[in-house]
Chain A
Amino acid sequence: MSETTAPILTVENLSIAFGATEAVRGLSFEVPRGGTLAIVGESGSGKSVTSMAAMGLLKFTGGRVTSGSIRLNGPSGETEITGASEADLRRIRGNRVSMIFQEPMTSLDPVFTIGSQIGEALKLHRGLRGKAARDEAARLLELVRLPNARAQLDRYPHQLSGGMRQRVMIAMAVSCRPDLLIADEPTTALDVTIQAQILQIIRDMQEEFGTSVIFISHDMGVVSEMADEIVVMRHGEMVEAGPAEEVILRPKADYTRALMAAVPKIGAMQGAEAPRKFDLPGQAAAEAGDHPAPERGEPLVRLEKVTTRYDITSGFFGRVSHRVHAAEDVSFEIHPGETLALVGESGSGKSTVGKTLQQLVAPVSGRILYRGTDILSLDPTQRQRFKREIQYIFQDPYGSLNPRKTVKQSLTEPMATHGLLKDADAQVAELLTSVGLRPEHAGRYPHEFSGGQRQRIAIARALAVDPGLIIADEAVSALDVSVQAQVINLMMDIQARRGLAYLFISHDMAVVERVSHRVAVMYLGEIVEMGTRRQIFENPQHPYTKRLLRAVPVMDPTRPPERVTLTGDIPSPVRAVGDPRRSHGFVEVAPGHLLADNHENFEQYREGIAS
């Protein structure tokens, strides 16, 4: 094979172990020169471990290559990574092969400036120092479209948002024009509009430097936009590999097919009136009309102009100088048996609305009516009763269950608190059965369960007090797609059985499209558009809703990715005290479809806030 067509990286029969546990077994693939190979898989599939091995960084994670080879085929000849000395590896790392990590918030050293951290690589591999290094760093930051690049050099990581930090990481990674760039879930922690920008920048860098890319992700939409070739991994082994189009559109392996079925695809629900469960192998096929919108009588919950703010103090006397305007004049209704989705990006205030409704934080103004009763006007003992009616499921199934309590203890505690405990064993058994677990699980501790099972326990705990409304705050975001689909199906089954209402808080538009009857889109603490699922997804009116929908990666490899020109961050909801309050009204564009009346001058509005 000639120098120019040989694959940039050849992995042959690679096996990796951590102690006695094998993490990767007999893995082989090639990264095409100038192209993008995506490694797809759920947690524990060995995809990140493989990338660490390609960087020669495995030993710092406690793992080791037990057999096989990883060959880097650069312009300066072939290098075997697995047998290379640490000194050789240091010359390769950051220079010929570089890496972007998942967590932009923790990827940069908090005590050094951005400029000095980029400068490190420039000095090490390109011998640039002083002004030359600084100029080059500024040029790189411009390349990744960081606004005001030169000024950013003297700033520290904590002064930058997640999206900006990830740009810095990319600038650092491409600073020495690597032959191979490894991107390990580079956008997973980012908002969807920021994700679109970052993916665009990675494509631009690839074009600019001719870099080959290994793109590791669990998100099929993102993979579909980025990949030329796909390797699907599961439990440390390769399940399927091939050109992206083949693998996505005509998957051969059963696992790949199951994985694709579990991926929520935006637009898949077009024309459907009601939410629908995922068609999962081994489950009865979902039928349209399973989950019709409920009769619209008396609402279960009604929020009237609820405003919640957090104080920020500063100065010598700790005066309140700024406030986080987390929720501003939020009004909506939820009917029994209905799912209202609250969507938005970080800082949109969607979680604050949930917490206010659950009475975890007190609103500054507004009314919350539960079956017509104003909860906030009640005295604390009466209010306690309403805490039972509204239950919460949190995002992190690992943090929300007490590790020192058995499942039974976790489930009976809320029942005892509200005086609902009659026959503990029977009640716990029934709850566990209703979430698809077995009664004998009651005596176990949380660490004995997987993430998906823990989230089922969290749902059982919420159901324990027989609530009317469950607030699911990013309740499926931390789960692998196949588990996510199962948990969503479970939640929809429970809703159909019990006539339960959900406030489904999520950033994931594709999931929201699947589960919700109605959708409210939040931006900077305000609802900008609200309507039925079809109104929002099929006929979005507000510029922000449109932008949000456009930014969602679509799992369609035949469609060339749309060029993203948007830059910049989501503005901050922090405002100075005395800053005139910006509020807007609504116009009803169709029955039940409310649109913020600032939609025409939204850009000015947005900039007014950002400035």
Chain B
Amino acid sequence: MPILSFVLKRVIQAGFVLVAVTLFVSFAIRLTGDPAVMMLRESANVTPEDLARIREGLGLNRPFLVQYWDFITGLLTGDLGASFFRGAIGPLVSDALGATLLLALTSLAVSLVISIPLGIYAATHRGSFGDQLVRVLSLAGLSFPNFWLGIMLVLIFSVTLRWLPPSGFMGPASLIMPAVTIGVILTSTNLRIVRTTMLDVLSSQFIMVARAKGLSQTAVIYKHALRNSSIALVTYLGLQFGSLMGGLVVVELVFNWPGMGTLAIEAIAQRDYPILQTVISILAVMIVAVNLLVDLTYMLLDPRIRLE
């Protein structure tokens, strides 16, 4: 299939996904409670007129579809509008997105730098002590719930040793513990994926053919085997991105990291529809975009897909 047609198809599919996600989020959040009631919860002598006034002020008395339309057009034109309680959404979201991406990309990079060489080592030394060790460690890493790991790290490195700041975002040192917490989970799964796909590729006939040509172990592993197993790895990374974003919310909460997760949780607590809608939509756009990117990378890596 020609690349352009492929991309176009995927972009249109992505459009449908985004409409469905934003519609559902906007609708669902309105079922959870009335922000006007929330705002006046602490006040005495609240009259129905007070509530109506607030609803009118927030634009909540308009039909749902009109509110949704305003939100979508605002999102498309870059005008994210104002939140109910915290002023303009634009700067809020862009700060949070920056913090989240910093955390996500750091942990992803760390995990790849560790898992690719270790996974290759384990696959090429199958059954050796090193391979066993790698497998035990990765299983151990998978077994920790990430919030528990986060709390343990805080207890050890902040409370007891006082080496690292326990929470918030105060310079690079703050990044270490949250990145390690997420990185451990990512590394453990990636390690397994690299090891299995490498083992799979290494047992292929074309690897034996490459050896029979007289190629060195390095050329066989890093040219032929890695290139072939990267196809599976990239697919997996794309799938992983969604759960990475989900995992981030929990870890951000543990470390009070000022990212999209924290912003979303706060918005839910306050019934701040505009912020929540925006945050969820942006996350959805990112996940869809990453998977589109994965499909394109796939075409780059695998001629069987590119040329079909």
Instruction: Give CA–CA (A107, B212) in the complex, Å.
Output: 11
Task: Answer yes or no: A111 CB below 8 A from chain B CBs.
Answer: yes
Binary per-residue interface labels of chain B (90-132) against chain A in the complex, 1 for a CB within 8 Å, 0 otherwise = 0000000000000000000000000000000000000000000
Task: Answer yes or no: A120 CB below 8 A from chain B CBs.
Answer: yes
Task: Answer yes or no: A103 CB below 8 A from chain B CBs.
Answer: yes
Task: Answer yes or no: A203 CB below 8 A from chain B CBs.
Answer: no
Task: Answer yes or no: A355 CB below 8 A from chain B CBs.
Answer: no
Please name all residues of chain B whose beta carbon is closer than 8 Å to the beta carbon of A107 when the two chains form the complex: 205-206, 209
Task: Answer yes or no: B211 CB below 8 A from chain A CBs.
Answer: yes
Contact partner, B301, options A61, A103, A111, Cβ 8 Å? A111
Task: Answer yes or no: A280 CB below 8 A from chain B CBs.
Answer: no
Instruction: Give CA–CA (A536, B303) in the complex, Å.
Output: 44
Please name all residues of chain B whose beta carbon is closer than 8 Å to the beta carbon of A101 when the two chains form the complex: 205, 208-209, 212
Most chain A beta-carbon neighbours within 10 Å: one of B211, B214, B227, B303: B214
Contact partner, B213, options A60, A106, A121, A315, Cβ 8 Å? A121
Binary per-residue interface labels of chain B (197-224) against chain A in the complex, 1 for a CB within 8 Å, 0 otherwise = 0000000111011111111110100001
Please name all residues of chain A whose beta carbon is closer than 8 Å to the beta carbon of B217 when the two chains form the complex: 86
Please name all residues of chain A whose beta carbon is closer than 8 Å to the beta carbon of B219 when the two chains form the complex: 120
Task: Answer yes or no: A352 CB below 8 A from chain B CBs.
Answer: no
Task: Answer yes or no: A340 CB below 8 A from chain B CBs.
Answer: no
Whether B208 lies near A109 (C-beta < 8 A) is: no
Please name all residues of chain A whose beta carbon is closer than 8 Å to the beta carbon of B228 when the two chains form the complex: 109-111
Task: Answer yes or no: A186 CB below 8 A from chain B CBs.
Answer: no
Q: Is the interface of B mostly helix, strand, loop or mixed?
A: helix
Instruction: Give CA–CA (A94, B208) in the complex, Å.
Output: 12
State the Cβ distance, B213 to closest chain A Cβ, in Å: 4
Whether A57 lies near B307 (C-beta < 8 A) is: no
Contact partner, B209, options A86, A90, A125, A169, Cβ 8 Å? A169
Output the nearest chain B residue to A182 by Cβ-Cβ distance.
B212
Output the nearest chain A residue to B225 by Cβ-Cβ distance.
A109
Whether B206 lies near A109 (C-beta < 8 A) is: yes
Contact partner, B304, options A95, A110, A121, Cβ 8 Å? A110
Whether A156 lies near B303 (C-beta < 8 A) is: yes
Task: Answer yes or no: A382 CB below 8 A from chain B CBs.
Answer: no
Please name all residues of chain A whose beta carbon is closer than 8 Å to the beta carbon of B209 when the two chains form the complex: 99, 101, 107-109, 169, 172
Task: Answer yes or no: B162 CB below 8 A from chain A CBs.
Answer: no
Binary per-residue interface labels of chain A (81-96) against chain B in the complex, 1 for a CB within 8 Å, 0 otherwise = 0000010001111110
On chain B, the number of residues with a Cβ less than 8 Å from chain A's Cβ atoms is 27
Please name all residues of chain B whose beta carbon is closer than 8 Å to the beta carbon of A565 when the two chains form the complex: none
Instruction: Give CA–CA (A149, B228) in the complex, Å.
Output: 26
Whether B214 lies near A57 (C-beta < 8 A) is: no
Output the nearest chain A residue to B12 by Cβ-Cβ distance.
A316
State the Cβ distance, A90 to closest chain B Cβ, in Å: 5
Task: Answer yes or no: B5 CB below 8 A from chain A CBs.
Answer: yes
Please name all residues of chain B whose beta carbon is closer than 8 Å to the beta carbon of A601 when the two chains form the complex: none
Task: Answer yes or no: B44 CB below 8 A from chain A CBs.
Answer: no
State the Cβ distance, B38 to closest chain A Cβ, in Å: 48
Please name all residues of chain A whose beta carbon is closer than 8 Å to the beta carbon of B5 when the two chains form the complex: 315-316
Task: Answer yes or no: B28 CB below 8 A from chain A CBs.
Answer: no
Task: Answer yes or no: A353 CB below 8 A from chain B CBs.
Answer: no
Task: Answer yes or no: B170 CB below 8 A from chain A CBs.
Answer: no
Binary per-residue interface labels of chain B (268-308) against chain A in the complex, 1 for a CB within 8 Å, 0 otherwise = 00000000000000000000000000000000011110010
Whether A92 lies near B304 (C-beta < 8 A) is: no
CB within 8 Å of A: which of B1-17?
1, 5, 8-9
Instruction: Give CA–CA (A362, B288) in the complex, Å.
Output: 38
Please name all residues of chain A whose beta carbon is closer than 8 Å to the beta carbon of B214 when the two chains form the complex: 90-95, 121, 124-125
Instruction: Give CA–CA (A169, B204) in the complex, Å.
Output: 15
Please name all residues of chain A whose beta carbon is closer than 8 Å to the beta carbon of B302 when the two chains form the complex: 110-111
Instruction: Give CA–CA (A610, B8) in the complex, Å.
Output: 33
Task: Answer yes or no: A55 CB below 8 A from chain B CBs.
Answer: yes
Please name all residues of chain B whose beta carbon is closer than 8 Å to the beta carbon of A112 when the two chains form the complex: 224, 227
CB within 8 Å of B: which of A35-61?
55, 57, 60-61
Binary per-residue interface labels of chain A (287-316) against chain B in the complex, 1 for a CB within 8 Å, 0 otherwise = 000000000000000000000000000111
Contact partner, B216, options A57, A90, A106, A125, Cβ 8 Å? A90
Closest 7 A-B residue pairs measured CB to CB? A94-B213, A94-B214, A93-B214, A156-B303, A106-B205, A109-B206, A90-B214
Q: What are some 17 contacts across the A-B interface (CB < 8 A)?
A: A60-B211, A92-B214, A94-B214, A94-B215, A101-B208, A106-B205, A109-B224, A109-B227, A109-B228, A110-B228, A111-B231, A111-B303, A120-B210, A156-B307, A158-B307, A159-B307, A169-B209
